[in-house]
Amino acid sequence: MKIHIRNGRVIDPMSARDEVVDVYVAAGRIAAIGEAPADFRANRTLDATGLVVCPGLVDLSVRLREPGFEYRATLESEMLAAAAGGITSLACPPDTDPPLDEPGLVEMLKFRARNLLGPRVYPLGAMTQKLECRMLT
């Protein structure tokens, strides 16, 4: 998928860039900022005139309610909600039920998240077993 984001105000705090310029995306990467790469043919052009184009947001605390609290919200709905908020990477705390205190649980959550639309999910590990503050994990 090749995407051309046209005429947006590109703000990238890390590189101190703030200018109206085009962004070209291909194969999951930023292919160019400014001039189109040679032979670039966009599958989709987004008109960003009057809009801000910035890095996807990174949220350090998002409870996805899985495992254990699916009745409160589902992984699917909250991943979509995060994407609707502009978030592309998130850390989720381990206070799930059961807590994320063993590798199998972390791998399951990552696997489930990978198969859904939405941000990259980075589960935080429980510092202690069952979060009971007795034995380190």
Partner 1 sequence: MAELTEAGCRAFTQADAPMTDNQVLLRAMEYASTFGLSLWLRPQDVSLAHGGVAHDGAVASRLGLPGIPALAETVALATILQLARETGARVHLARLSTSEGLAMVRAAKAQGLAVTCDVASPHVHLSENDLISFDSHLHLVPPLRSLRDRDAIREALRDGTIDALCSDHTPVDEDVKQVPFGESAPGASGVELLLPLTLKWAREMDVPLMQAIGLISWKPAQILGVPAGTLAVGGWADLCVFDEAAEWIVGPRTLTSQGNNTPFLNHLMLGRVHYTLIDGHIDFEAPHSP
CB 14 within 8 A of CB 27: no
Nearer to partner 1, 38 or 135 (CB): 135
Residue with tokens 């791998």: 107
> Which of 21, 17, 20 has its CA nearest to residue 35?
21
C-alpha 26 chain-centroid distance: 18
Rounded to the nearest whole angstrom, what is the least distance from the CB of residue 94 to partner 1 in the complex? 6
Count of other CB atoms within 10 angstroms of residue 88:
15
Nearer to partner 1, 67 or 74 (CB): 74
Rounded to the nearest whole angstrom, what is the least distance from the CB of residue 30 to partner 1 in the complex? 5
Nearer to partner 1, 67 or 77 (CB): 77
Rounded to the nearest whole angstrom, what is the least distance from the CB of residue 38 to partner 1 in the complex? 14
Round to whole Å and give the CA distance between 13 and 62. Answer: 23
